[in-house]
């Protein structure tokens, strides 16, 4: 009594890693969140170099928030039941890879118009990837262990959100496009990881897992 919930439960991590596919899923969760956090944390620096004021930076992030909400609330929620978690995750990581690479290109071209055009690719990709991976974690874990495994997944995401900006901001010192090229490289690894999860969807269905993450 009196003890709070641990931020990182070693027993749950050990249990998660002992299960087929779950370790690779957790790694993919970490890398996708890490890459997206690099993008988020450096975007305001990129737009500042492209000539945007703080006021217009707010509009950029509002634009991203609108796309994220629209993608999660309408597009992803409708497509997961049709495509399945594996295909949706694969579509998501491919879009993130392409989107982050295109942001790298747009930063090199110093083109705001191109940046606005390619931002939705990354954001929609992340919107598709996150609930799909969380649902796959749930599908590959017995019901009585799902809380612990999903908790480990959340801890991995939290850790990635701490470490991603550190690397992204450090890479900015070498060039404006470096964080996005590095993030695209990480996402290319995630494409390979997700391809290896083709058989990671059991016959049973747990739609509540995806709904919980999306909603």
pLDDT digits (tens, 9 = 90+) for 155-204: 889 999 999 999 999 999 899 899 999 999 999 999 999 998 887 665 44
How much is the pLDDT for 211?
A: 46
Spans in the chain with pLDDT lower than 70: 1-20, 200-215
How much is the pLDDT for 111?
A: 72
Residue of 61, 190, 49, 169 lying closest to 125 (CA atoms): 190
Degrees (nearest 5) of the Cα angle 84, 184, 121? 55
Is the alpha carbon torsion for 78, 79, 84, 89 positive or negative? negative
How much is the pLDDT for 194?
A: 94
Token reading at 192:
């390979």
Distance CA 195, CA 53 (A): 41
How much is the pLDDT for 70?
A: 92
How much is the pLDDT for 203?
A: 42
21-214: CATH homologous superfamily? MFS general substrate transporter like domains (1.20.1250.20)
Token reading at 94:
């491919």
Delimit the domains of the chain by residue range. Answer: 21-214
């Amino acid at each position: 009594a009196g003890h709070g919930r641990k931020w990182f439960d070693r027993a749950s991590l050990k249990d998660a890693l002992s299960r087929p596919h779950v370790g690779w899923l957790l790694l993919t969760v970490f890398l996708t969140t890490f890459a997206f956090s690099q993008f988020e944390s450096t975007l305001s620096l990129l737009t500042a170099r492209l000539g945007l004021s703080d006021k217009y930076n707010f509009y950029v992030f509002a634009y991203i928030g609108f796309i994220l909400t629209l993608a999660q609330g309408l597009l992803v929620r409708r497509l997961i039941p049709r495509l399945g978690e594996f295909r949706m995750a694969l579509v998501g990581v491919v879009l993130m890879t392409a989107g982050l690479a295109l942001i790298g290109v747009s930063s090199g071209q110093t083109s705001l118009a191109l940046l606005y055009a390619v931002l939705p690719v990354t954001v929609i990709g992340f919107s598709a990837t996150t609930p799909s991976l969380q649902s796959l974690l749930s599908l590959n874990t017995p019901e009585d262990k799902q809380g612990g495994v999903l908790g480990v997944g959340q801890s991995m995401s939290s850790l990635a959100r701490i470490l991603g900006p550190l690397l992204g901001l450090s890479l900015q010192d070498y060039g404006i496009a470096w964080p996005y090229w590095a993030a695209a490289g990480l996402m290319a690894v995630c494409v390979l990881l997700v391809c290896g999860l083709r058989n990671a969807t059991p016959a049973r269905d747990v739609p509540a897992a995806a709904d919980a993450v999306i909603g």
